[in-house]
């Protein structure tokens, strides 16, 4: 017997940003096209890295490479509804982190989609994995998943 995981709640994701859908986001079925869910995940990841983590993505000596991404679709999102995208840190290693991600229809506390990204921290010059910087690690600790 398979046990279905309950959808996450906004409080499960300590950093959140609002995203306004656009007319062109909808597909022919009147739903936000599946590929855009990954774009929305990217939006919250970049906002988190640039905001609380204070990483200058264009100039920092340490950058991130996506190693894995996943999205579980729970219910459709549609224009003109706004979206709240949330992120938390599910796991941290020495050179990588797994972000828990979720999308919520504005005004709804239950996730419409959940997923994850794994980022590897890389030295910009050598393109080789490098330890997560201490200041970033401290921010990640404050945004860790509460079990």
Does 2 reside within a domain? no
pLDDT per position as a tens digit, 22-74? 999 989 999 999 999 999 999 999 999 999 999 999 999 999 999 999 999 99
Neighbours of 91 (CB within 10 A): 14
Q: Alpha-carbon dihedral of residues 56, 60, 130, 69, nearest 10 degrees?
A: 40
The domain in which residue 63 lies consists of 10-142
Does 147 reside within a domain? no
Backbone torsions φ then ψ of 133, nearest 5 degrees: -55, 145
pLDDT per position as a tens digit, 113-124? 999 999 999 999
The reported pTM is 0.93
Average pLDDT over residues 9-23: 96
R_g (Cα) of the chain, nearest Å: 16
Does 3 reside within a domain? no
Does 119 reside within a domain? yes
Distance of alpha carbon 77 from alpha carbon 105, whole angstroms: 7
Give the CATH number of the domain where residue 18 resides.
3.10.129.10
Distance of alpha carbon 71 from alpha carbon 38, whole angstroms: 7
Does 58 reside within a domain? yes
Neighbours of 17 (CB within 10 A): 16
Does 86 reside within a domain? yes
Q: Are strands 15-20 and 62-73 parallel, antiparallel or unpaired?
A: unpaired
């Amino acid at each position: 017997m398979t046990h279905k995981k309950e959808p996450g709640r906004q409080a499960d994701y300590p950093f959140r940003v609002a995203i306004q859908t656009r007319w062109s986001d909808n597909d022919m079925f009147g739903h936000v096209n599946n590929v855009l869910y990954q774009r929305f995940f990217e939006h919250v990841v970049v906002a988190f890295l640039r905001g609380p983590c204070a990483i200058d993505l264009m100039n920092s000596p340490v950058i991130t490479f996506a190693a894995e991404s996943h999205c579980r679709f729970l219910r459709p999102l549609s224009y003109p509804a706004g979206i709240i995208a949330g992120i938390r840190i599910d796991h941290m290693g020495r050179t990588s982190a797994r972000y828990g991600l979720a999308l919520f229809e504005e005004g709804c506390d239950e996730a419409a989609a959940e997923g994850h990204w794994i980022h590897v921290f890389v030295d910009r010059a050598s393109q080789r994995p490098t330890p997560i910087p201490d200041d970033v690690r401290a921010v990640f600790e404050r945004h860790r998943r509460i079990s």
